[in-house]
Amino acid sequence: MGFIDHVRRCNNFVPGGYLPFTVDGAVVGSLRPAFAEALVDWPEVFRVSRSNVALAVDHPGLAERSHAVAGVLETLVRRGVLSHIHGERYPATPGRREEAKLLIDRAAAPYFGIRAFGQHMNGFVREGGSLRMWIGRRSADRVNFPGKLDNLVAGGLPYALSLEENLEKECMEEAGIPVSLACSAVPVGVVTYNALSSKGLKPDTLYCYDLELPADFTPSCNDGEVEEFYLWPVEKVLETVRDSDEFKLNCNLVIIDFLIRHGYIGPGERDYLELVSRLHPSPPF
Amino acid sequence: MGFIDHVRRCNNFVPGGYLPFTVDGAVVGSLRPAFAEALVDWPEVFRVSRSNVALAVDHPGLAERSHAVAGVLETLVRRGVLSHIHGERYPATPGRREEAKLLIDRAAAPYFGIRAFGQHMNGFVREGGSLRMWIGRRSADRVNFPGKLDNLVAGGLPYALSLEENLEKECMEEAGIPVSLACSAVPVGVVTYNALSSKGLKPDTLYCYDLELPADFTPSCNDGEVEEFYLWPVEKVLETVRDSDEFKLNCNLVIIDFLIRHGYIGPGERDYLELVSRLHPSPPF
């Protein structure tokens, strides 16, 4: 067990066999042949071949395309191919969020293998030369990763919100951080990984933030996602990440990036070069 | 002109046509067929084929192998294939410095396309909420990049020295930073790029450091490499990198990484995702 194992586990997607998903000539995702098969009943929406799946909708607008696909997804839920509709829409894009070619419900994102964007924030307190980090414990009733440790604030980034809006919203909902503090969050880079899930490819892009908090601030959860917060010395966070699986999988990567940027993981670490390089892969399409 | 142009220019190597250079079964570099041709006179040292160049020396030890190659390099200098011998040896390695399979003179590194390691340090001063960076102007008599702007401290990392030793040495030689200050330098990550030079492939790995300096410290150059130092507001540094070619090429990347980590280049920047991802490529072998 070590830092690099978390990074490798989040990058367990092996290319091969997946079909590119193209919209308007641009590859925006990558899907399993079995899921492609489930789309053949809608030739007016998807053109499914042995070598790729292309959006067939002729409507030029983002809204029309997205509406046509949303209709298919509803039927796929009724047929049991998809488990549910989440209600937030993610951009299917060859690169940036602003280049979205299509919007797809968040629950269907891994089936189409589209890039999913999120925001993760490390909150910390400095006292003299030492640093302590705020860590959340996810509630036991969560569907995903119940009881696991988490970053102070973390969440998916729906297309409808700007990065600033979503971060402020998540700061308040997940940790009771008022806008007056949240606006001091510093964007510090991006962590990416290409994971294989039971539903398909997850090429995730996490915008990372550091927020230095005053010593007298205590977070409080307003949406039931977190059951408890801890203020741990950075050394304890480092050891927990390095030696255990207590953190939600992708939070390990965000903390490793934090520890590298702040010098707590240095070039003496055996896997330093691989860690830095593999925290930043591009999507495999 | 923009941040991404510097990153793209440092990553102008296009694979194809180059021959892998293997030692002990491990690929440690990549060289031009024309340079491979120059090695055929030493079949006892290099096995040159159409598809690769392999070190033929049977001696198992690093010292013996490196000595055999050094002998060839001296003759190549006499023949005018190489311009000179530098005197510092770089490790040829499939990954980390500690996994060195062979040591090659620094001047020959790009001919063999081996990974070259260096250290770059940004020095800065905080005053209230603002940040100023120390920038060096390279002397007009330098062979490489005369008159260009530079990081406060930057240098190649010879195999014979540890990272700590070399950083302390460079801090004193290039900027008059005493060990008592240099030891506060924080390792903050790695910038890599795969450049094409007139001599061949340069897959460079730069260990990056931040050093916060006291307001009353003024750097002084002790080795003639820098003719002048400036203490610039970070905004002026950002604009100079973004809008000009005044900095030595790879220093732009180290500063872009600094500006991302400190939030001066944020997710609103058009090329943010590409910048982060392309500051960290692996070598192309």
Query: How many residues make up chain B in this entry?
Result: 285
Chain A nearest-CA distance from B95, in A, is 8
- At residue B224, the pLDDT reads 87
Which residues in B lie closer than 8 A to residue A280 (C-beta atoms)?
A: 276-277, 279-280
Torsion of CA A255, A256, A259, A260, to 10 degrees: -140
10-residue mean pLDDT series, chain B (285 residues): 96 93 95 96 96 86 94 97 94 94 96 97 94 97 93 94 97 96 98 96 97 97 91 98 97 98 97 96 92
Sign of CA dihedral B242, B280, A204, B186: negative
- Rounded to whole angstroms, the Cα distance separating B45 from A204 reads 47
A residues 20..59 contacting B (CB < 8 A): none
Q: How far apart are the first and last CA of chain B?
A: 30
Determine which helix (DSSP H) or strand (DSSP E) holds A216, and give its type and residue range: none
Chain A CB contacts of B262 under 8 Å are: 186, 188
Q: How far apart (Å, rounded) are the C-alpha atoms in residues B10 and B249?
A: 7
pLDDT of residue A128: 87
The pair of three-digit structure tokens given for residue A150, joined into one six-digit string: 């988490």
**Residue found under tokens 């010395």:** A233
Specify the pLDDT at position B64.
Answer: 93
Nearest to B181 by CA among B153, B155, B151: B153
The pair of three-digit structure tokens given for residue A176, joined into one six-digit string: 């009771």
B190–A95 CB contact, under 8 Å? no
- Count of A-B CB contacts under 8 Å: 66
Cα A120 from chain centroid? 8
Q: What angle do CA A108, A47, A77 make, to 5 degrees?
A: 30
Q: What pLDDT does residue B128 have?
A: 87
**Cβ A188–B260 below 8 Å, yes or no?**
yes
Of A186, A263, A280, the CB nearest to B187: A263
pTM of the model: 0.95
In this complex, which of A190, A272, A279 lies closest to B273 when CB atoms are compared? A190
Q: What is the pLDDT along chain A (285 residues), one digit of tens a residue?
A: 899 999 999 999 998 889 999 999 999 999 999 999 999 999 999 999 999 999 997 777 899 999 999 999 999 999 999 999 999 999 999 999 999 999 999 999 999 999 999 999 999 999 988 999 999 999 999 888 999 999 999 999 999 899 999 999 999 999 999 999 999 999 999 999 999 999 999 999 999 999 999 999 999 988 888 999 999 999 999 999 999 999 999 999 999 999 999 999 999 999 999 999 999 999 999
A236 touches chain B (CB under 8 A): no
Q: What is the dihedral of CA A222, A226, A232, A234, to 10 degrees?
A: -100
Whole-angstrom Cα distance, residue B49 to residue B108? 20
Other beta carbons within 10 Å of A202: 21
The reply to whether B126 touches chain A by the CB within 8 Å rule is no
Chain A: nearest CA to B120, how far in angstroms? 13
Residue of A nearest to B270 (CA): A96
Chain B nearest-CA distance from A141, in A, is 33
Token representation of residue B247: 């900095």
Residue B100 tokens read as 């060195």
Q: Which residues of B touch A263 (CB under 8 A)?
A: 186-188
A2 C-beta neighbours (distance < 10 Å), count = 14
Q: What are the percentages of helix, strand and coil residues in chain A, rounded to 5?
A: 30, 30, 40
Contacts of B266 in chain A (CB under 8 A): 187
Residue closest to A153 by CA, chosen among A131, A130, A133, A126: A133
| Token duo for residue B20 | 């892998």
Residue with tokens 């008022």: A178
> How do B102-105 and A89-92 pair as beta strands?
unpaired
Torsion of CA B273, B275, B277, B278, to 10 degrees: 150
Residues in CB range of B262: below 8 A, 6 or more apart: A186, A188, B131, B234
Element (H, E) at A77: helix A62-78
Q: Do A192 and B277 touch (CB under 8 A)?
A: yes
ipTM of the complex in this document: 0.95
Residue B102 is inside which H or E element, if any? strand B102-105
Name the closest residue on chain A to residue B193, using Cα atoms: A277
Sheet holding A19-23, edge to edge: A26-31, A19-23, A53-55, A46-48
Q: Residues in chain A, how many?
A: 285
Q: What is the pLDDT of residue A42?
A: 96
Question: Cα Rg for chain A, rounded, in angstroms?
Answer: 20
Question: How many Å apart are CA B202 and CA A240, to the nearest integer?
Answer: 38
CA distance B73 to chain A (A): 29
